[in-house]
Amino acid sequence: MLIIFGILPIYEVLGVLGDKIRVRFSKTGKAKFISHLDLMATMRRALLRSGISLKYSEGFNPHPYMSIALPLSVGCGSLCELMDFRTAGEPLLDGMREIITSTLPDGLEILEAYKSTLKFSEIEWIELCGALYYDKGTPQGTAENLAERFKAKSIIITKRTKRGVSNVDIAPYIKDLVFNETEGLTIKAKVSAQNPTINPENLIFAIHGAYGAPAPDFASFTRTGIFDSDMNEFK
């Protein structure tokens, strides 16, 4: 009997039919600083070490069928990352979360493994939670001032896209934004996930860009939710 790292027999992990599996995973701690390309390589190695036989494309340079939804900015954490992969067999989902997590570096953890027919293109909104830090302390009234500024019907920022740099009005792509100054200055917002993608850098730029608010000396953001067009949790 062939054993995978002493965890499960390989025939209990792999079946005979190919299938698409989706996993939800977290990216925290030092893992926040792993780039998207390095994350893909890390996940591929983890799946192989777990004994999962990945399905590869055909041709001169075959590559595994793997994709991660909405790549994160380096330094941004997440509690809700999604990755799809195809297998050369049909793996049992029971125990998959623990098996893969045991092969991952600190800061990466598989939270759930399941089958889904939803496409990543159906993701409309993401929830971001952030903390803004000021070396000399948060300026008095910053939360109230920022909340007022973000109520504006137009918030123009300079945004870099594949076509170059352009001015974009991000106001229509932000909802449910709340600033809180109870313990430091925090921000929680649901923002557009795609077309356009609103990321933490865009929010920071909007805070101090044309609106004159003091720029934080450091900011830390975590993606905490992913939603469809009806604001239902996307899985």
Q: What is the CATH number of the domain that holds 99?
A: 3.30.70.580
Question: What pLDDT is attached to residue 8?
Answer: 36
- 218 alpha carbon, distance to own chain's centre: 20
Compute the distance between CA of residue 218 and CA of residue 216 in angstroms, rounded to an integer.
Answer: 5
Supply φ then ψ for residue 141, to 5 degrees. Answer: 75, 10
Confidence of residue 109 (pLDDT cuts 50, 70, 90): very high
**Single-letter amino acid code for the residue at 68:** I
| pTM, 2 dp | 0.85
- Domain finish residue from 117, 135, 170: 117
Looking at per-residue pLDDT, the higher value among 19 and 201 belongs to 201
Q: Same structural domain for residues 113 and 132? A: no
Q: Which two tokens stand for residue 4?
A: 């995978």
Question: What pLDDT is attached to residue 88?
Answer: 84
Whether 166 shows a pLDDT value over 70: the answer reads yes
Whether 228 shows a pLDDT value over 60: the answer reads yes
**Domain, as residue range, for 81:** 3-117
Which segment, 7-11, 33-37, 164-168, is predicted with the most confidence on average? Answer: 33-37
The number of folded domains in the chain is 2
- Per the DSSP assignment, residues forming a β-bridge with 26 are 109
136 CB neighbour count, 10 Å cutoff? 7
Q: Same structural domain for residues 75 and 150? A: no
234 located within any domain = no
Residue with tokens 């399941």: 114
Looking at per-residue pLDDT, the higher value among 166 and 129 belongs to 129
- Domain finish residue from 79, 98, 117: 117
The whole-chain average pLDDT of the chain stands at 86
Residue with tokens 């926040």: 32
Q: Same structural domain for residues 19 and 111? A: yes
Q: Same structural domain for residues 104 and 156? A: no
Question: What pLDDT is attached to residue 157?
Answer: 87
Q: Same structural domain for residues 90 and 148? A: no
CATH number at residue 181: 3.30.70
Whether 100 shows a pLDDT value over 70: the answer reads yes
Question: What pLDDT is attached to residue 159?
Answer: 79
Question: What pLDDT is attached to residue 13?
Answer: 39
Whether 118 shows a pLDDT value over 70: the answer reads yes
pLDDT tens digits, residue range 172-226? Answer: 999 989 998 887 899 999 999 998 999 999 998 888 754 566 778 899 999 999 9
Out of 45-59, 101-115, 123-137, 205-219, least confident range: 205-219
Q: Same structural domain for residues 105 and 132? A: no
233 located within any domain = no
Q: Same structural domain for residues 50 and 95? A: yes
Q: Same structural domain for residues 36 and 106? A: yes
Q: Same structural domain for residues 88 and 163? A: no
Q: Same structural domain for residues 129 and 149? A: yes
Question: What pLDDT is attached to residue 225?
Answer: 97
168 located within any domain = yes
**Single-letter amino acid code for the residue at 16:** V
Q: Same structural domain for residues 73 and 144? A: no
Three-state secondary structure of the chain: CCEECCCEEHHHHCCCCCEEEEEEEEECHHHHHCCHHHHHHHHHHHHHHCCCCECECCCCCCCECEEECCCCCCCCEEEEEEEEEEECCCCCCCCHHHHHHCCCCCCEEEEEEECCCCCHHHCCEEEEEEEEECCCCCCCCHHHHHHHHCCCCCCEEEEEECCEEEEEECHHHEEEEEEECCCCEEEEEEEECCCCCCCHHHHHHHHHCCCCCCCCCEEEEEEEEEECCCCCECC
Q: Same structural domain for residues 95 and 157? A: no
Q: Give the residue-averaged pLDDT of 96-112.
A: 96
Out of 40-44, 86-90, 129-133, least confident range: 86-90
Compute the distance between CA of residue 20 and CA of residue 22 in angstroms, rounded to an integer.
Answer: 7
Whether 72 shows a pLDDT value over 80: the answer reads yes
